[in-house]
A and B are shown apart, each in its own frame.
Chain A
Amino acid sequence: MTWDDFVLAFFSWQIVSEAWPILWDGLQRTILMSIMVVPLGFIGGTILALLSTVHNPWIRWPAAVWTDVFRALPPLVLLIFLYAGVPFTGLEISAWGAVAIGFFLNTGSYYGEILRAGIESVPRGQQEAARSTGLTRWQTMQYIVLPQAFRNVLPDLISNTLEVVKLTSIASVVALPELLFQARQAQSVTYNATPIVAAAVIYFILLWPMVRVLSRLENKALASRR
């Protein structure tokens, strides 16, 4: 392969400009999907973390098992099962529906574990002080524990969010035309690798600012620990 062939196969401007409309279409869907699944997972995680603080073992235990199961199950398997397995029961789930449910289950469990660690990192005295002034258990969670918990695990939350956005590319296997799916389409139509490279560059541009913020936060956390 000559240098020119190499450039033509991976970095062809002509291919990029031809494929751009379809890549742009996929990028929009990737962003839309992220905007949907991140809050969904976050809400699910918050609920799981709160359930893990309940005294009643009949509530706490199922939440713990739930978290374990969906952290152990590969998200790709879960997604394919929802999209291609569940319909055998007669219940059709759309690609978007499968993504929403799958990410809620998988991502929620990860956020849940992070937030649970955050809640546990808040000293017990904080709750006692709040309860001694007459705040209810829930008010104490809302105003005292959760704000400190979120702050204590912020780097982990961002790191997980980064993983979640990257993970949206698995929606391509259930034919949801997001960025990777569209890049594959463009690649097979043009018979050229440039669209895949373009997709990688787009992911990088999308996520790099978050990576920067994350490492700044981590450095700050390290500095404050010194």
Chain B
Amino acid sequence: MAIVEATGIHKHFGALHVLKGVDLVVEEKQLVFVIGPSGSGKSTLLRCLNRLEEPSGGAIVVDGVDMLSPRTDINKARQRIGMVFQSFNLYPHMTALGNVTLALRKVLGLGRAEAEKRGQAALDRVHLADRAGHFPGQLSGGQQQRVAIARAIALEPRVMLFDEPTSALDPELVGGVLEAMRELRQDGMTMVVVSHEMAFARAAADRVVFMADGAVVESGTPDEVFGNPQHERTKAFIGQIGRH
């Protein structure tokens, strides 16, 4: 069953045509990796899926909900779509637990005790239960990103979107975040990941989508896309990345 079904997504920023009719289907429990050069529109595509960016055209259905219908309560729909950002975006004035429980209390309407129980469980899943009382400024970048993951999974979303989750991290901190993502995947979470972590993509992705200039150039299993790319653009990109 498809959890995410995006068809013919267009996005214009003024005169810029950033997405030119992109299709993306993500099956339940799949991990789909979106790769491509910067400016290819992959982050914009991701941000269209939960309507942080308003698509200029196309259709998006997430878990059976028509995301672009005016009758859809977008705040309700977003509860099923977790998102993790490049710059973590933790709330600096709240503790790790406060970050995780805010939406549980204000969106799901849980009481404090229940919210904190679920928040602690979410922090435990990213192995940060002992940091619940710390403020973001007291955590390393890797820990902050794991708290951000906990904040998203606490709402028990149907799909998780990762927008370059390790790009802002020092190399030695990347491992912990990827480990948390790997564990999520093992627990059966459906995931869409925009990232340059090619080794992780090869090891963990079910499908890899290569984008360039606002369109999908090709997609397939990691072996297909990395091992035997069909298009020149893909070959060039993978060749470049390989040299890093």
Interface residues of A (CB under 8 A from B): 123, 125-126, 128-136, 139, 143-144, 147-148, 151
Contact = CB atoms under 8 A, between A and B. Distances in A.
Contacts, number: 63
Interface of B: 50, 52, 75-76, 78-79, 81-83, 85, 87, 89-93, 102-103, 106-107, 148, 151-152, 155
A90 B218 CA distance: 77
A148 B102 CA distance: 15
A144 B102 CA distance: 10
Contacts of A144: 91
B78 A134 contact: yes
A144 B85 CA distance: 16
A140 B159 CA distance: 22
B84 to A, nearest CB: 9
B93 A148 contact: yes
A144 B103 CA distance: 11
A133 B107 contact: yes
A129 B93 contact: no
Contacts of B102: 130, 133, 135, 143
A130 B92 CA distance: 12
Given A128-B85, A134-B155, 19 more contacts: A123-B89, A125-B85, A128-B89, A129-B85, A129-B151, A130-B91, A130-B103, A132-B50, A132-B82, A133-B82, A133-B155, A136-B75, A139-B106, A143-B106, A147-B93, A148-B91, A148-B92, A148-B93, A151-B93
A126 B91 contact: yes
B52 A134 contact: no
Contacts of B52: 128, 131-132
A133 B119 CA distance: 14
A132 B81 contact: yes
Q: Which of A128, A129, A148, A151 has the most chain B CB atoms inside 10 A of its CB?
A: A129
B115 to A, nearest CB: 13
A225 B155 CA distance: 35
Contact of B76 (A123, A130, A134): A134
B91 A134 contact: no
B89 A135 contact: no
A44 B102 CA distance: 28
B103 A134 contact: yes
